[in-house]
Amino acid sequence: MTNKQFSNTEQTVFEELLIHRRDVRGNRFLSSPIAEDTLRKILHAAELSPSVGFSQPWEFVIIKNQQTKQAVADVFAVENTKAEKLFSDEKRKEYAQLKLEGILKTPVNIAVFYRQPDGPVLGQTSMPDMGEYSVVCAIQNMWLMARALNIGMGWVSILDPEKVKDILKIPEERKDKLKLVAYLCFGHVDEFLNQPELEILKWDTRKPISDYLHQESYTQQ
Amino acid sequence: MTNKQFSNTEQTVFEELLIHRRDVRGNRFLSSPIAEDTLRKILHAAELSPSVGFSQPWEFVIIKNQQTKQAVADVFAVENTKAEKLFSDEKRKEYAQLKLEGILKTPVNIAVFYRQPDGPVLGQTSMPDMGEYSVVCAIQNMWLMARALNIGMGWVSILDPEKVKDILKIPEERKDKLKLVAYLCFGHVDEFLNQPELEILKWDTRKPISDYLHQESYTQQ
pLDDT in tens, A10-20: 999 999 999 99
Check B62 against A216: CB less than 8 A apart.
yes
Res B52 pLDDT > 80: yes
Answer whether residue B160 is part of any domain.
no
Three-state secondary structure string covering B69-138? HHHHHHHHHHHHHHHHCCCCHHHHHHHHHCCCCCCCCCCEEEEEEEECCCCCCCCCCCCCCHHHHHHHHH
pLDDT (0 to 100) of residue B220 = 52
Check B133 against A181: CB less than 8 A apart.
yes
Answer whether residue B10 is part of any domain.
no
pLDDT in tens, B73-120: 999 999 999 999 999 989 999 999 999 999 999 999 999 999 999 999
- Average pLDDT estimate for B118-139: 97
Check A53 against B198: CB less than 8 A apart.
yes
Distance from CA of B204 to the nearest CA of A (A): 7
Res B181 pLDDT > 60: yes
The verdict on pTM exceeding 0.95 is yes
pLDDT (0 to 100) of residue B27 = 85
Phi, psi of B2 (to 5 degrees): -150, 155
Answer whether residue B7 is part of any domain.
no
The ipTM of this complex is 0.97
pLDDT in tens, B107-127: 999 999 999 999 999 999 999
Answer whether residue B27 is part of any domain.
yes
Q: What is the CATH number of the domain that holds A73?
A: 3.40.109.10
Res A101 pLDDT > 90: yes
Tally the domains of chain B: 1
A&B contacts, CB < 8 Å: 305
Contact (Cβ atoms closer than 8 angstroms) between residue B152 and residue B24: yes
pLDDT (0 to 100) of residue A220 = 52
Answer whether residue B12 is part of any domain.
no
- Domain range for residue A126? 24-192
Answer whether residue B142 is part of any domain.
yes
pLDDT (0 to 100) of residue B3 = 80
Interface test with B, best of A1, A10, A11, A14 (most B CBs within 10 A): A14
Res A124 pLDDT > 80: yes
Answer whether residue A12 is part of any domain.
no
Separation CA A75–CA A180 (nearest Å): 14
Residues A110, B143, A202: CA angle, nearest 5 degrees: 65
Answer whether residue A209 is part of any domain.
no
